[in-house]
């Protein structure tokens, strides 16, 4: 049994390394130009080894996006604990930009851009993306923004999410 646990850990570690390498390729080339071979070179494996974990590049791109959306969800969970809309937004931005700064220093993996999410034919990713957007909208819709009309709050949430997505990425 111990051996199986070590094997599962190694599998998950390898899979995480592949996703981290794929995020770097995805951020530079986009999903349409990302190849399993390019990811393999970046992580130091062969393309068939990458296919063992992800049968096609769309599955790998989906894993990259899901990782980023999950991380944004973690930042939102922390931010949602604040008492005012302004404090929640400040905490979200602080957590996000702190992570991006750490990524620029190579302390953590890169954060994926979401420019290809809509073109990716993956319902799980689209559902997670919409869920994150709705959480951002709720984050700012309370408190000071509660008197604003829904269209203004939705527009502000789109702007915030877009700005997070298009923050300059430091390429290594």
pLDDT interval class at 2 (50, 70, 90): very low
pLDDT interval class at 168 (50, 70, 90): low
Domain regions of the chain by residue span? 2-165
Structural fold of domain 2-165: Tetracycline Repressor; domain 2 (1.10.357)
Model confidence pLDDT, tens digit, residues 109-143:
888 988 888 788 899 999 999 999 999 999 888 75
Average pLDDT over residues 164-172: 65
Distance CA 23, CA 65 (A): 8
Count of alpha carbons within 13 angstroms of residue 20, beta-carbon side: 14
At 4 the three-state DSSP class reads helix
pTM: predicted TM-score of the whole model, two decimal places: 0.86
Model confidence pLDDT, tens digit, residues 32-84:
899 999 999 999 999 999 999 999 999 999 999 999 999 999 999 999 998 88
- Of 132, 160, 2, 6, which Cα lies nearest the Cα of 65? 132
* Whole-number CA gyration radius for the chain: 18
Q: What pLDDT score was predicted for residue 57?
A: 92
CB contact at 8 A, 167 and 100: yes
At 34 the three-state DSSP class reads coil
pLDDT interval class at 3 (50, 70, 90): low
Distance CA 155, CA 158 (A): 5
Residues 6+ apart with CB under 8 A from 131: 69, 73
């Amino acid at each position: 049994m111990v051996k199986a646990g070590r094997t599962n850990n190694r599998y998950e570690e390898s899979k995480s390394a592949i996703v981290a390498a794929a995020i770097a390729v995805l951020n530079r080339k986009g999903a349409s130009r990302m190849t399993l071979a390019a990811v393999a070179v970046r992580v130091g494996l062969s393309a068939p080894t990458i296919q063992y974990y992800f049968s096609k590049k769309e599955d790998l791109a989906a894993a990259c996006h899901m990782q980023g959306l999950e991380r944004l969800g973690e930042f939102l969970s922390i931010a949602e604990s604040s008492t005012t809309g302004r404090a929640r937004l400040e905490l979200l931005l602080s957590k996000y930009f702190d992570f991006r700064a750490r990524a620029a220093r190579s302390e953590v993996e890169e954060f994926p851009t979401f420019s290809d999410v809509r073109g990716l034919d993956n319902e799980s990713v689209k559902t997670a993306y919409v869920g994150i957007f709705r959480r951002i909208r709720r984050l700012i819709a309370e408190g000071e923004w509660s008197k604003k009309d829904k269209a203004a709050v939705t527009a502000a949430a789109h702007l915030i999410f877009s700005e997070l997505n298009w923050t300059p990425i430091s390429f290594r």
